[in-house]
Amino acid sequence: MKRLSLSILGAAALSAGCAIAVQATVVAVTAVNDTAVLETKLPRSLSDYGFFADATAQIPSAGVIPYRLNTPLYTDSAIKLRFAYVPAGKQAVADGEGLLQFPVGSALIKTFAYGEGEDRRLIETRVLLHRADGWLALPYKWNEEQTEAKLALVGARLEVDTPEHGTISYRVPNKNQCKQCHSIDDAVVPIGPKARNLSGDWMADMVKAGHVDAVPDGTNTLPVWEHRQKADVNATARAYLDVNCAHCHQPQGKASNSGLDLRWEQDDPTAVGIRKRPVAAGRGSGGLNFSIVPGDSTRSIMVHRMGSDNPGVAMPELGKTTVDKDGVDVITRWIDAMPEKTF
């Protein structure tokens, strides 16, 4: 890791439910190792990249920008610390309200943790590297000492104490499982940083810093998850499905054979699941006939599967082992509020 000088670094730490908190912390300013991002081999340690000036404290290096999503993907209630890196002299290009088009040499970094303050435990850090031949997803597992994260190509199962669910069997995905969620037409792509799911202030700051070319129309469209009780339930539910389900349930995703298209922009009620029959019967359907029955969440397969932690029934299939009760609540309220005769 290349060390440049000792200075005051404004370190931003983000977590679900928290606004950006900027702290003046004295750290050694470090530079990202662009060679590690771009080269063909797989770095064995997270520190090889130089993404962090202080990895344990999750204080990013110069040029590594923290961000948060309005509506995040649920992963067993883990806190997620997200960072984006665009190499010097390059710029991400806005593509409407959709995914930012990051140049080769960019990286997206996401650390999963539980607990706050001194009790916080870092579990894993996933990196997405944009190399010349496409995006590469790699998982890194943190050691007990919380001093380093090592490449975990085959993934891992960990007993993790969580504030909300007690002790759970947490799964660090293997390299191939990363692809299952990050795959569109069999190509690995990012799924999080879409303009519609990013704040206008963050986008404006990125444009001002030269990291992104423009703030497109549609930025900051998705509701902020922490405001879900007062937000429009239709928008909140559609945002949840877009973020948590649509990377698979869309025509170019791994679950395209389901016939569901849960993307935010889809406006065909049947494609979204309303009065849509499942493509196969079985315990996944719970003996129910439709993905969504307007006005009746108890007869809707979507709620049945979201509310289960039984493998083979639970949805999403990857990335969680517990039921997202808040997500189930939003989808339940959305379905129950649907007028039965509207569709």
What pLDDT, on a 0 to 100 scale, did the predictor assign at position 281?
62
Backbone angles phi, psi at 111, to 5 degrees: -105, 135
Q: pLDDT (tens digit, 9 = 90+) per residue, 84-103?
A: 999 999 999 999 999 999 99
- Going from N- to C-terminal start, the domains of the chain cover 29-222, 223-342
Identify the residue with better confidence: 185 or 331: 331
Compute the mean pLDDT over every residue in the chain, rounded to the nearest whole number: 88
> Is pLDDT of 21 > 70?
no
269: helix, strand or coil? helix
> 84 - beta bridge partners?
65, 108
Q: Quick check: 319 and 181 in contact, CB under 8 A?
A: yes
What pLDDT, on a 0 to 100 scale, did the predictor assign at position 86?
97
Q: Quick check: 272 and 301 in contact, CB under 8 A?
A: no
Region 212-234: what's the mean pLDDT? 96
Q: Quick check: 42 and 22 in contact, CB under 8 A?
A: no
Q: pLDDT (tens digit, 9 = 90+) per residue, 160-187?
A: 999 888 999 999 988 877 777 777 777 8
What pLDDT, on a 0 to 100 scale, did the predictor assign at position 42?
95
Q: Quick check: 163 and 174 in contact, CB under 8 A?
A: no
Query: Could you tell me the end-to-end alpha-carbon distance of the chain, in angstroms, rounded to an integer?
Result: 59
Range scoring the smallest mean pLDDT among 7-11, 76-80, 249-253: 7-11
What pLDDT, on a 0 to 100 scale, did the predictor assign at position 27?
53
> Is pLDDT of 69 > 90?
yes
> Is pLDDT of 15 > 50?
no
Region 303-320: what's the mean pLDDT? 86
Region 189-215: what's the mean pLDDT? 95
> What percent of the chain shows pLDDT beyond 70?
90
304: helix, strand or coil? helix
Separation between Cα atoms, residue 200 and residue 229, nearest integer Å:
22
> What percent of the chain shows pLDDT beyond 90?
70
pLDDT confidence tier of residue 13, bands split at 50, 70 and 90:
very low
37: helix, strand or coil? helix
Separation between Cα atoms, residue 181 and residue 315, nearest integer Å:
13
Measure the CA angle with vertex 237, ends 224 and 283; round to 5°: 135
What pLDDT, on a 0 to 100 scale, did the predictor assign at position 313?
87
Instruction: Please tell me the pTM assigned to this model.
Output: 0.87
What pLDDT, on a 0 to 100 scale, did the predictor assign at position 342?
54
> Is pLDDT of 210 > 90?
yes
What pLDDT, on a 0 to 100 scale, did the predictor assign at position 174?
87
Q: Which residue has tokens 């700051």?
A: 205
Range scoring the smallest mean pLDDT among 17-26, 35-44, 205-214, 310-319: 17-26
**188: Cβ contacts below 8 Å, ≥ 6 apart:** 128, 134, 135, 136, 137, 178, 179, 182
What pLDDT, on a 0 to 100 scale, did the predictor assign at position 37?
97
Region 256-283: what's the mean pLDDT? 90
Region 19-23: what's the mean pLDDT? 40
- What type of residue sits at position 129? L
Region 204-216: what's the mean pLDDT? 97
> Is pLDDT of 10 > 60?
no
What pLDDT, on a 0 to 100 scale, did the predictor assign at position 7?
33
Region 103-109: what's the mean pLDDT? 97
